[in-house]
Structure 1
Amino acid sequence: MKHPILTPLALTLAATLLGGCSMIPAYHRPAAPVATTWPAEPGEPAAAVGTTAATDVPWQTFFADPRLRQLIGLALANNRDLRVAVLNIEQARAQFQIKRADQFPTVGLAAARTPAAVGDGTINVYSAGLGISNWELDFFGRLGSLKEAARSQYLATEEGRKAAQISLIASVANGYLNLLADEELLKLTRQTLATREESLKLMRLRFEHGAASELDSRQAESLFEGAQVALAQQQRQRAQDENALVLLLGQPLPEGFFNPAAPPQLADAAQLTDLPAGLPSSVLINRPDVRQAEQQLIAANANIGAARAAFFPQITLTAQAGSASTQLSGLFQSGTYGWTLASQLLLPIFDAGRRQAGLESANAGRAIALAQYEKAIQSAFREVADALAGRATLGEQLRAQQAQAQAESVRYQLSDLRYRNGVASYLDNLDAQRSLFAAQQAVVQTRLLQLQNQVLLYKALGGGWTEAAGADTRAASP
């Protein structure tokens, strides 16, 4: 003999098996709107192609400087932007779980007292049991489409966290390099200031004894004050760069990190792994921000399926199984068992164009996501191309800058010798001092640009979110 409760369960199972017809448009990855090869590097026949992708080089391997690795570890553990990115993943995961749960019935304990008319009077009917209320049978895949959209958004936030980590690591590396350059520029400025102070003292002594004109004395004073201005500017820039790095770290610099007696030099951070450019297709596969944009495109595509399904009937099921009695004390006694099952079909006839507007909005959302995906690819392509152009030219620029600084140094020595022997005016000596100081500053700045360009290339190729084997990845958790 068939038990009465099997009937609603059988109906529920049949509805579940029949449901889930997806109306999501078939997804095909759009063609990349960029060239199939990188632009040829200046002075090179073609961009270098290698077998080792940047994503296969952990940041612990790429950055050899132990001080920099320490700072990156602190930033991964304490940076608030990265912490928000991690929490966004948790929120998106919860939203996905909510959409997935919408496909299943919510079973709850139901109890009610219902007045019923009998003849000239009324009686109360008491009931208690398990119930399912307004469970939508997903015949046309509306709930399934929303679940797939939420799943893609969840995956997009995961890729967003990786992209945030890449940007954070590159920003910390550049901030650290800025500080090293600041230290070198401060040292150079202090040396120049000391030299010009001695020159000013000598010039004032010569002026007092009639061996030099007031013009020469004032020119020496101007040069000295110019060095004072440069020192104040460098000190301010050093403080601002440190503040920017502290913000990235989410905490102050470790105590004694920079030893004033022996500050680290840019040369200490110059040991960066050389990376092959690879092909544009590998960048599209490996860059998390591009994968994030693609997942958002897939989510927008799934929303079209939900908007299409809204044009079809919405079927809901309400069921309850338990005990009913006219006496509260009679509940759960023999013979009081019962069940109810009700279904409802709703097909809006007139909604003032709401569903059509919803479909148009979903189609527009997909077009927007497609444009954003293509822009992400184009931006990635440009970043790599720019970094490759920098790699091809900054080395030669640094070599020429160093040669110029050396020439200016010799020129200053000769000009000073000529002035002391009365062959040349002090104006020539001043010009040689200014040119030497500017050339020495340019060497430091060009070396900084070269190192930062290597960091940019590592970031542009998608490196920085993988961990070295055996590395403690807990630092990346909030």
Structure 2
Amino acid sequence: MKKSLLSLALISALTGCSLIPDYQRPAAPVDAAYPAGDVYPESNTAGGTPAAELGWREFFQDADLQLLISSALQNNRDLRVAALNVDAYRAQYRIQRAELYPQVSVGGGATRQRLPADLSRSDGASISSQYSATVGISAWELDLFGRLRSLNEQALEQYFATAEAQRSTQISLVASVANAWFTLQADQALLKLANDTLGTYQRTYELSQRTFDVGASSALDLRQARTSVDSARVSVAQYRRQVAQDRNALALLLGGPLPQNLQPDDDLYAVQLAEVPAGLPSELLQRRPDILAAEHNLKAANAVIGAARAAFFPSITLTANAGTASSQLSGLFDGGSGTWLFEPQINLPIFTAGSLSASLDAIEIAKNIEVADYEKTIQTAFQEVSDGLVARQTYREQLEAQRQLVASTEDYYKLADRRYRGGVDSYLILLDAQRQLFSVQQSMIGDRLAQLTSEVNLYKALGGGWQERTAPLVPVASAN
């Protein structure tokens, strides 16, 4: 019975207690619904596959874009660094966890020493020898008040936070590659438009040159036609440069050269994106990796408080070993040569000039900072999703209005061209119609690019882009 009580007391002492405060997740400082959900209910419908569960291959339905994203996930250096950071924090956690257990080591030693006659107890010089072999533990801290377990909990939460940061980096990379690809397509379309416009201006200039040569038009009309040609040439050079720079930006994201057979389509309306429901703000807390990472950092800061509290209490360390020692190597393991050592140490802080209290205050302040960062991360996520929902609806309306504007401007240009060729109107009216048509067509491409970018950013804001599903999904409506 006494042995049982002694064993129970020893286990209780070794198990110790934890001084980590009970973790309470802070309340989300956002509304229960997205503002866009009340204005545009169709943008926040329930059902469908959540963005975090919709693989990027299902969301991005362009084969070339899928190839680019796959290549970037394999070769991008930022993602590689994020993965290495995860490995580093995993190793750090293992190091910290090892502190909970005694480190057992085996050692052996040999000493031979010569003493001169005036230092020797014998009449002349002497040579002494000592051989030993021991096994034991050194400076093992008994975690009576949970200091080591608190630090272990901190390391574990930091490891989890880094893993979520890796997921966040991957989501950002997928979105960046998609946006870079759409930008390249848009600039390709603008380059084609500029070349077509240059051809139109060139034909108009040649017509003006002929009419000027026969005296049917003025030098002013000819110079105005020439300025249109030069302006279009400037646009062509500009978009050529932008296309080349877009390719360079895409290559940086991919971590290597672009595929040889890559053919960007200048028809932005051929791009297909799956549509995902927004869900509820509470789902962001469970799916967005940056929010999960912020919460893990908060839990890590909470765990450090336990370690700081434990520093106020005594700490006990044990050093013990057992082995054998002899003056002769041949007698090292003979009977009666056994040795042992048991050396417990206790450290009790009595006067620290307030350093322990200051350390605890600093750690609690650091936790409050993590709380604020966590809440700000939620607010940022809420804003990004809300902006994306508003953009989804308004860009549809804007593009429809832009299509009608392009059609009206094309009619205006055709009418102005006929009237100029018929000698009814001056070249200034035709020039105005040409410039307006070129401008609204550029705006049309820019608006379509902005719509595609907003859809990608909404998918990213909802936590999508992490998984690569292979199982077939239920078809969803197109975002186009």
Does the TM-score normalized on the shorter chain lie above 0.5?
yes
Query: Does the aligned pair in 2 maintain the 1:49–1:279 contact within 8 Å?
Result: no
Q: Take 1:246 and 1:323, find their aligned partners in 2: how far apart are those partners? A: 66
Trace 1:44-123 onto structure 2 (pairs within 5 A): 44=40, 47-51=43-47, 52-112=49-109, 120=121
Of 37-46 and 388-397, more deviation after overlay is shown by 37-46
Bigger shift: residues 43-52 or 199-208? 43-52
User: Separation in 2 of the partners of 1:360 and 1:214?
Assistant: 82
Instruction: Provide runs of 4+ in structure 1 moved above 6 Å.
Output: 10-13, 114-119
Determine whether 1:268 maps to 2:270. yes
Given that 1:155 and 1:292 are in contact with CA atoms closer than 8 Å, whether structure 2 keeps it comes out as yes
Instruction: Report whether the alignment pairs 1:258 with 2:263.
Output: yes
**Residue number in structure 1 paired with 2:477:** none
Unaligned runs of 5+ in 1: 1-9, 472-478
Report Cα offsets for 1:281-334 as digits up to 9, x if no partner.
011211011000000000010011111111111110000011122334321112
Structure 2 counterpart of 1:90, one-letter code: D
Tell me how far 1:200 sits from its aligned partner.
1.1
Residues 1:242 and 2:247 are matched in the alignment: yes
Code of the residue aligned with 1:138 in structure 2: it is: D
Query: Equivalents in 2 of 1:40, 1:72: separation in Å?
Result: 30
2:301/2:366 contact within 8 Å kept = yes
Question: When the two structures are superposed, what TM-score results if normalisation uses the length of structure 1?
Answer: 0.91
Measure the CA separation in 2 of the matches of 1:354 and 1:226.
71
**Alignment partners' CA distance in 1, 2:11 and 2:324:** 25
Pair 1:36 & 2:32 matched = yes
Percent identity between matched residues is: 50
SS in 1 for 2:67: helix
Of residues 385-394 and 330-339 in structure 1, the stretch that sits farther from structure 2 once superposed is: 330-339
1:156-208 Cα distance to aligned partner (Å, 9 max, x none): 11111111110000111111111111111111110000110111121122222
In structure 1, C-alpha distance between the alignment counterparts of 2:43 and 2:374, rounded to whole Å: 25
1:333 match: secondary structure? coil
1:310/1:355 contact within 8 Å kept: yes
**Structure 2 SS opposite 1:111:** strand
Q: What is the match of residue 319 of structure 1?
A: 320
Where does residue 162 of structure 2 map in the other structure?
A: 157
User: C-alpha offsets along residues 411-469 of structure 1, whole Å, 9 cap, x if unaligned?
Assistant: 01111111122221111110100000011111111111111111111111101111213
Q: Is the counterpart of residue 198 in structure 1 residue 203 in structure 2?
A: yes
Distance 2:12 2:214 in 1: 106
Superposition map of 1:63-462 within 5 A = 63-112=60-109, 120=121, 125-258=130-263, 263=265, 265-269=267-271, 271-462=272-463
Letter in 2 for 1:110: G
Which deviates the most, 42-51 or 32-41?
42-51
DSSP-derived class of the 1:95 partner: helix
Q: Structure 1 residues 124 and 308, CA, compared in 2 at 3 Å: closer, same or farther?
A: farther
Q: What is the match of residue 6 of structure 1?
A: none
The more displaced of 323-332 and 30-39 is: 323-332
Match in the other structure for 1:23? 19
Judged with a 3 Å threshold, the aligned counterparts in structure 2 of structure 1 residues 350 and 111 are, in CA distance, closer, same or farther, namely farther
The runs of 5 or more residues in structure 2 that have no matched partner are 1-5, 473-480
Contact 1:89-1:154 at 8 Å conserved across structures: yes
1:333-388 CA-partner distances (Å, limit 9, x unpaired):
12212321110001132333332222122112111111111111011000000100
1:259-297 deviation per Cα after TM superposition (whole angstroms, max 9, x unaligned): 7xxx4532232x211111100001121101100000000
Are the counterparts in 2 of residues 39 and 46 from structure 1 also a CA contact under 8 Å?
no
Q: Alpha-carbon deviation of 1:241?
A: 1.2
Q: Structure 2: which amino acid aligns with 1:29?
A: R
Change in CA separation of 1:15 and 1:43 when aligned onto 2, cut-off 3 Å: closer
Counterpart amino acid of residue 86 in structure 1: A
Deviations 1:84-123 (A, max 9, x none): 0100110000000000001111111233468999995796
Q: Which amino acid aligns with 2:270?
A: D
- Distance between the aligned counterparts of 2:129 and 2:8, measured in 1? 30
Does the 8 A contact of 1:58 with 1:463 survive in 2?
yes
The whole-number CA distance in structure 2 between the counterparts of 1:404 and 1:141 is 70
> Residue 65 and residue 58 in structure 1: after superposition, are their counterparts in 2 closer, same or farther (change >3 A)?
same
TM-score w.r.t. the length of structure 2 is: 0.90
SS in 2 for 1:40: helix
1:27 shift after superposition: 0.2
Q: How many residues are treated as equivalent by the alignment?
A: 458
Q: Cα distance, 1:63 vs. partner?
A: 1.0
- Distance (Å, rounded) in 2 between the aligned partners of 1:280 and 1:20: 40
SS of match in other structure, 1:37 = coil
Residue 35 of structure 2 aligns to a residue in which SS?
A: coil
Change (3 A) 1:416 1:280: same
One-letter amino acid of the counterpart of residue 202, structure 1: L
Name the aligned partner's letter for residue 106 of structure 2.
L
Equivalent pair of 2:14/2:142 in contact (CA under 8 Å): no
Are 2:136 and 2:320, in contact at CA under 8 Å, matched by a contact in 1? yes
**Alpha-carbon distance in 2 for matches of 1:372, 1:69:** 34
The answer as to whether partners of 1:43 and 1:392 remain within 8 angstroms in 2 is no
Counterpart CA distance in 2 for 1:141 and 1:132 is: 20
Whichever residue aligns with residue 33 of structure 1, its letter is P
